[in-house]
Amino acid sequence: MLVHVLLYDAGQDSEGIHSLEVSGNTAVLMFENRDDADRYAGLLEAQDFPVPTIEALDREEIEIFCRQAGYEPRLVESGFVPKTDEDRLLLAPPSANRDVSTWQESEPGDETAAPPTGKSSDLDEIRRRLEGLL
């Protein structure tokens, strides 16, 4: 199943995936619906966040990447309706973001963190395998 994730500097050595802190864990959002990912990216841009690229990737590959990086994958299903404040973070970014001017050097748990050292090659490998399927 393809999901949509938000990437920064897609295809570059400094590529990073959008993440946020939820209940003390670093979560990577996977959107089932492209429109939800587009809307979330627009909300980030409205908060003067760097504009992410939306990529459709295999859900299982993202979940593997998250496990290896120590992140928690969070699926935002089509028609998702938040029931808690935490759930609302899956549809709209928090009003206060961390400084992203140096996100490439960020530590895990930052609002936007580059994959830990060596993990960008994992994402590159995932991308190559997915491109091979097409």
User: Residue 131 burial (CB < 10 Å; 0-12/13-18/19+)?
Assistant: exposed
At 68, the amino acid letter reads: Q
Give tens-digit pLDDT for 89-115: 777 777 655 544 444 454 444 444 443
Domain ranges across the chain? 2-122
Tell whether pTM > 0.85: no
Give tens-digit pLDDT for 27-57: 999 999 999 999 999 988 888 888 899 999 9
